[in-house]
Chain A
Amino acid sequence: MKKINHDSSYEFVIPISYGSTEVLETGKWGFQKPQTSFMTAPCQEACPAGINIPQFLYLTQEGMHDEALFTILRENPLPGVCGRVCFHPCESSCLRASYDESVSIHAMERFVSDATSNQVQDIQLISNRDSKKVAVVGAGPAGLSCAYFLSLLGHQVIIFEAKKEPGGVMRWGIPEYRLPKAVLKKEIQRILTLPIEMRTGVKVGKDISLDELNQFDAIFLSPGAGVNVPLSIKGENLERVWRGGEFLERINSKEKITLGKETIVIGGGNTAMDVARSALRLGSRVTVAYRRTRKEMPAIQDEIAEAEEEGVRIEFLMHPVKVSLLKNKRLAVKFQCMKLSGLDQSGRPKAIPVKGKFFTLEANHLITAVGEQVDSSWIPQGLIKSSLVEVNPSPKIFAGGDAVDQPRTIVTAIAAGKRAAISIDSHLRGEDSQEMYSKIRVGNKGAVSMEAYLASRNEGKWPEVREVISYQQINTLYFEPSRRVRMRKRSRKQALKGFSEVNVGFNSREARFSASRCFSCGTCNYCYNCYFFCPEGAVSLDPACRTRTVDFDHCKGCGTCAKACPRNVVKMEAWS
């Protein structure tokens, strides 16, 4: 050190130690120590598939797209599908919604799927010395999910699918503009890289009997709801009155369909919206008639909004009572006016007729979409309860998807397939699946974690169940308010030209920003707050190895790290 001009008698102005204070084990002074314990984020709890959303968003933000995809694939084999057609309950539970606006989780799932390659990402099949044979009936979301997870658990699976291609409602129901067939194909191909045999064009109950499947160690039934519910009114069988499901299947089979100038669609669910928007694309003017009001429509809100943006007119409190053919070959549809009164058994407002009030609309076509049923005629009566297939008295037969699940959505079907795979695996191992479900639950809304199940199967130890984090446990002072990114869409004019996908998806800049908006509730995302705020320099983080260590010889237990953690991952615990 240089000498000081005004005072040459001393060499230093200030004492500096070049030794270390490490010898002072200040850690021994403390009576509490920080522990990292992750919590379940409400989005993850709300996701029927229990996807670790904070984790996949963190990885996306870091640009680790393959790892992000792998995180999703551990719980859901169909991210490209769900990233497009899921009703995304995750976003309504997002804690960021209480702060500014929820994170665009739905669009992010799609981004991760679109940004990654076709291959299964090193998904570890567990070595199963006691591999069994399982038959899966139906290759819809539930059947594919069940087969996928059974395969991960080391079982041999054969899927029997009645139609000529797998996918169920995803293949034959949802139109191309919401779910491009190429995306679905890519996802099914990925599932089929696992040791799964797919037998299409085989209808169980016709081409092969259910009895013949008895040779399998277990059977999973996921027949799907393929039968359109009839209106049961006069004139329903007229030539120009079509069933919604059949209409969509014809479109998805690339059949050329000609529609007249005007079409009336009956119904308020997703099928009705799909039918209406498809009809628009075939050049027809479309009016949807629904017997309750907008609030009661079962369709996904986004779908309703998009349908209206494209020009679909929705009329409420109308119930068709009669269809007749006019001389000009148009249809006259007579409607009963309705009003809401009281609640029905399911707790929804009941629509009742307004006495004597009717009116008639004319159109070239009428398409009905008032619900679908499961064709269970091929299932022995003893296995059926209250018109639905339930997990049943026969110990080797399991069921899922539309046959058992409410609500009928893709993601609940996927979740059912996963639960069935776990039930089948535990059944085959002679274990009680009910008790086990409590150990692999993701929060308290019914989702289960395959990751936790696999961990226990691999290591013989159940991971600790994580509690669900609340908004009050987030330290929002560390977050800047921001707006969520809205996905870009094709213009109405362009969208209506054909069946090309309407939503454009995020570019990588939008995706990175959207991911960065995630609070990472209860999950460490290496924000380094604990590292920077630790007055002792006792915290070490290594994002590459995903490790967080505390030098307990020097951590005094001041709790600053716990206070500074924005996401309640660090907690102070008594030290003995």
Chain B
Amino acid sequence: MKDFMTGNHAVAHAVKLCRTPLIAAYPITPQTAIYEKLSEWEASGVLKGIMMRTESEHSAMASCIAASLTGVRTFTATSSQGIALMHEMLHFAAGCRAPVVMANVNRSLAAPWGFWADQLDSLSQRDTGWIQFYCENGQEALDDVIQAYKIAEQVYLPAMIALEAFFVSHFMEPVDIPEQEQVDRFLPPLDLPHKFDIDKPGFLVPVVSSELYRKYKHMAQVSMDSVKEIAVRVDQEFKKEFGRGYGIIEPIMLEDAEVVIVTAGSITSTARLAIKDLRKRGNKIGLLKLRLFRPFPVEAVQVVLRGKKKIAVIDRNISLGGGGIFCQELRAALIHSSDHPLTYSYIAGVGGTDVTPEVIQKIALEVMNRFEPFDQPIWIMEE
């Protein structure tokens, strides 16, 4: 059934469809609408799960981890300062191999205060051991929550879906809400082998020796690596059930492209229009959408970018002293490809500033005319 709704409400629909018994969260703009919708449904009885109103995001995550380890599906939603406060518990979730699913609405981190779209909040958490997806629109946000559960529950690692503040969280679009029977068919009930066993009381997170610590970290890395394959499979299964699929990356008009624009999140939809226009004018421009960020789809990007001369990565984030984070990751992924392309880093849309088709076209044309590599990120400072 199609309905007209915001990305936040699409996420709430997905959580309900996944029959999540425990949601622990703390409200924060611009995520609050998810929290409110789920609360509303809890009050009216539509949502069968429990909304735990915790006193902080740190506690929300701690609650999700504990509940998850009893063998139930859990969910939380947060944003910006909230995910920053959660940081310690994010490591715990991954270390405890708890398949918690979270929606993070990408919002700028203070200081200074701001409420607008910026991906730095979730990208700052890239090393916490969470699977990360970046959503282009509300439909993808809904679908990604369902897929995230299916992936996380196979590898026993937590998964986060990131949607940008307002551009996705608050924009209303037609969203197709799957039937409950479809979701039930697609997503089997959770079976967690290491859940608490009342008959055999144990203590999680004990102090371990250096060797054991190394062993568990290595195991987690192996599991995380396997996500690249599992995510592709799950997406295919999803497409079979629901008629939609995304791929872990999406190559758009890449075959003959001389310059490739790389985006993640909502800028992708703008870029789709921009390159269509450039193509009409005879420019060989392609687009690559990054959907899965952790684990980084190294092999997949190597394949689709083989033989390309130049790529321009547009980052709605800045790692101070480094550059755009997607660009860093992409450069690292391509380093072992022979004859890898020149990679240009563009910082655009930071703090929620608008990235228009004109901005994207300007970047594409500029890259076409550049021939020397450029180490520093280039800031788009349009008013």
Give the contacts of A436-479 with B (CB-CB under 8 A).
Answer: none
Q: Tell which of A2, A7, A19 touches B219, judged by Cβ atoms closer than 8 Å.
A: A7
**Chain A 1-23 per-residue mask, 1 if CB under 8 angstroms from chain B, else 0:** 11111110110111111111100
Name, among A7, A16, A20, the residue most crowded by chain B CB atoms within 10 Å (CB to CB): A16
Interfacial chain A residues near B226, Cβ < 8 Å: 6-7
Interfacial chain B residues near A14, Cβ < 8 Å: 95-97, 194, 204, 216
In the complex the two chains form, is A4's CB within 8 Å of B156's CB? Answer: yes
Please report B residues at the A interface, Cβ cutoff 8 Å: 95-97, 154-156, 193-194, 200-206, 208, 212, 215-216, 219, 222-223, 226, 230
In the complex the two chains form, is A21's CB within 8 Å of B204's CB? Answer: no
A sample of 12 cross-chain residue pairs with beta-carbon separation below 8 angstroms, ordered by A number, consists of A2-B193, A3-B193, A4-B193, A6-B223, A7-B223, A13-B193, A13-B223, A14-B95, A15-B216, A17-B202, A17-B204, A21-B203
Can you name the residue of chain A whose Cβ is closest to the Cβ of B205? A15
Interchain CA distance A2-B195 in the complex, whole Å = 11
In the complex the two chains form, is B219's CB within 8 Å of A16's CB? Answer: no
Given A13-B97, A13-B219, A21-B203: A6 in contact with B155 (beta carbons within 8 A): yes
Give the contacts of A253-283 with B (CB-CB under 8 A).
Answer: none
Interchain CA distance A14-B157 in the complex, whole Å = 11
Interchain CA distance A77-B332 in the complex, whole Å = 87
Can you name the residue of chain B whose Cβ is closest to the Cβ of A2? B193
Minimal beta-carbon separation of A536 from chain B (angstroms): 13
In the complex the two chains form, is A13's CB within 8 Å of B215's CB? Answer: no
In the complex the two chains form, is A15's CB within 8 Å of B212's CB? Answer: yes
Interchain CA distance A1-B194 in the complex, whole Å = 7
Can you name the residue of chain B whose Cβ is closest to the Cβ of A1? B193
Minimal beta-carbon separation of A510 from chain B (angstroms): 29
Interfacial chain A residues near B212, Cβ < 8 Å: 15
Chain A interface, DSSP helix/strand/loop, else mixed: loop
Interfacial chain B residues near A19, Cβ < 8 Å: 203
Interfacial chain B residues near A2, Cβ < 8 Å: 193
Can you name the residue of chain B whose Cβ is closest to the Cβ of A20? B203
Can you name the residue of chain A whose Cβ is closest to the Cβ of B229? A6
Name, among A14, A19, A21, the residue most crowded by chain B CB atoms within 10 Å (CB to CB): A14
Interchain CA distance A4-B226 in the complex, whole Å = 13
Chain B interface, DSSP helix/strand/loop, else mixed: mixed
Interfacial chain A residues near B208, Cβ < 8 Å: 15
Q: Tell which of A1, A3, A7, A15 touches B206, judged by Cβ atoms closer than 8 Å.
A: A15
Q: Tell which of A18, A20, A21 touches B200, judged by Cβ atoms closer than 8 Å.
A: A18
Minimal beta-carbon separation of A27 from chain B (angstroms): 18
Interchain CA distance A1-B200 in the complex, whole Å = 11
Interfacial chain B residues near A4, Cβ < 8 Å: 156, 193
Interchain CA distance A436-B35 in the complex, whole Å = 62
Interfacial chain B residues near A17, Cβ < 8 Å: 202-204, 206
Can you name the residue of chain B whose Cβ is closest to the Cβ of A3? B193
Can you name the residue of chain B whose Cβ is closest to the Cβ of A4? B193
Given A4-B156, A7-B222: A18 in contact with B202 (beta carbons within 8 A): yes
Minimal beta-carbon separation of A466 from chain B (angstroms): 33
In the complex the two chains form, is B203's CB within 8 Å of A5's CB? Answer: no
In the complex the two chains form, is B219's CB within 8 Å of A10's CB? Answer: yes
Closest 5 CB pairs of A and B: A17-B206, A16-B202, A2-B193, A13-B97, A17-B203
Minimal beta-carbon separation of A532 from chain B (angstroms): 14
Interfacial chain A residues near B156, Cβ < 8 Å: 4, 13
Minimal beta-carbon separation of A242 from chain B (angstroms): 65
Interchain CA distance A14-B205 in the complex, whole Å = 8
In the complex the two chains form, is A12's CB within 8 Å of B194's CB? Answer: yes
Can you name the residue of chain B whose Cβ is closest to the Cβ of A15? B208
Minimal beta-carbon separation of A549 from chain B (angstroms): 21
Can you name the residue of chain A whose Cβ is closest to the Cβ of B227? A6
In the complex the two chains form, is A16's CB within 8 Å of B215's CB? Answer: no
In the complex the two chains form, is A13's CB within 8 Å of B202's CB? Answer: no
Interfacial chain A residues near B205, Cβ < 8 Å: 15
Minimal beta-carbon separation of A485 from chain B (angstroms): 28
Name, among A7, A13, A18, the residue most crowded by chain B CB atoms within 10 Å (CB to CB): A13
Interchain CA distance A12-B193 in the complex, whole Å = 9
**Chain A 144-156 per-residue mask, 1 if CB under 8 angstroms from chain B, else 0:** 0000000000000
Minimal beta-carbon separation of B244 from chain A (angstroms): 25
Interfacial chain B residues near A13, Cβ < 8 Å: 97, 156, 193-194, 216, 219, 223
Q: Tell which of B97, B154, B222 touches A5, judged by Cβ atoms closer than 8 Å.
A: B154
Q: Tell which of B95, B154, B201 touches A6, judged by Cβ atoms closer than 8 Å.
A: B154
Interchain CA distance A480-B95 in the complex, whole Å = 39
Interchain CA distance A520-B185 in the complex, whole Å = 53
Interchain CA distance A454-B34 in the complex, whole Å = 63
Interfacial chain B residues near A3, Cβ < 8 Å: 193
Name, among A5, A15, A18, the residue most crowded by chain B CB atoms within 10 Å (CB to CB): A15
Minimal beta-carbon separation of B62 from chain A (angstroms): 12
Interchain CA distance A14-B96 in the complex, whole Å = 6
Interchain CA distance A91-B223 in the complex, whole Å = 65
Interfacial chain A residues near B193, Cβ < 8 Å: 1-4, 13
Minimal beta-carbon separation of B72 from chain A (angstroms): 17
Interchain CA distance A3-B219 in the complex, whole Å = 13
Minimal beta-carbon separation of A319 from chain B (angstroms): 63
Name, among B97, B156, B194, the residue most crowded by chain A CB atoms within 10 Å (CB to CB): B194
Given A16-B194, A18-B200: A6 in contact with B230 (beta carbons within 8 A): yes
Can you name the residue of chain A whose Cβ is closest to the Cβ of B222? A7
Interfacial chain B residues near A1, Cβ < 8 Å: 193-194
Can you name the residue of chain B whose Cβ is closest to the Cβ of A21? B203
Interchain CA distance A407-B334 in the complex, whole Å = 95
Interchain CA distance A138-B200 in the complex, whole Å = 70
Q: A12-B194, A13-B193 are in contact. List 5 more A-B contacts (CB 8 A).
A: A3-B193, A14-B204, A16-B194, A16-B202, A17-B203
Interchain CA distance A4-B205 in the complex, whole Å = 19
Name, among A9, A10, A20, the residue most crowded by chain B CB atoms within 10 Å (CB to CB): A10
Minimal beta-carbon separation of B110 from chain A (angstroms): 29
Interchain CA distance A317-B342 in the complex, whole Å = 104
Interchain CA distance A14-B217 in the complex, whole Å = 10
Interchain CA distance A20-B155 in the complex, whole Å = 29
Interfacial chain B residues near A5, Cβ < 8 Å: 154
Can you name the residue of chain A whose Cβ is closest to the Cβ of B223? A7
Interchain CA distance A3-B191 in the complex, whole Å = 12
Interchain CA distance A155-B214 in the complex, whole Å = 80
Can you name the residue of chain A whose Cβ is closest to the Cβ of B200? A18
Interfacial chain A residues near B194, Cβ < 8 Å: 1, 12-14, 16
Give the contacts of A350-408 with B (CB-CB under 8 A).
Answer: none
Minimal beta-carbon separation of A18 from chain B (angstroms): 5
Given A1-B193, A10-B215: A16 in contact with B223 (beta carbons within 8 A): no
Interfacial chain A residues near B230, Cβ < 8 Å: 6
Interfacial chain A residues near B202, Cβ < 8 Å: 16-18
Interchain CA distance A14-B212 in the complex, whole Å = 10
Interfacial chain A residues near B206, Cβ < 8 Å: 15-17
Interfacial chain B residues near A18, Cβ < 8 Å: 200-203
Minimal beta-carbon separation of A13 from chain B (angstroms): 4
Interfacial chain A residues near B154, Cβ < 8 Å: 5-6
Interchain CA distance A17-B208 in the complex, whole Å = 10
Interchain CA distance A4-B206 in the complex, whole Å = 21
Interchain CA distance A329-B205 in the complex, whole Å = 98
Minimal beta-carbon separation of B360 from chain A (angstroms): 39
Interchain CA distance A3-B156 in the complex, whole Å = 12
Interchain CA distance A5-B212 in the complex, whole Å = 21
Minimal beta-carbon separation of A533 from chain B (angstroms): 13
Can you name the residue of chain B whose Cβ is closest to the Cβ of A16? B202
Interchain CA distance A1-B156 in the complex, whole Å = 14
Interfacial chain A residues near B222, Cβ < 8 Å: 7, 9
Interfacial chain B residues near A16, Cβ < 8 Å: 194, 202-204, 206
Minimal beta-carbon separation of B27 from chain A (angstroms): 19
Interchain CA distance A3-B205 in the complex, whole Å = 20
Interchain CA distance A249-B226 in the complex, whole Å = 96
Interchain CA distance A5-B193 in the complex, whole Å = 11
Minimal beta-carbon separation of B237 from chain A (angstroms): 16
Interfacial chain B residues near A6, Cβ < 8 Å: 154-155, 223, 226, 230
Interchain CA distance A4-B155 in the complex, whole Å = 8
Minimal beta-carbon separation of A156 from chain B (angstroms): 62
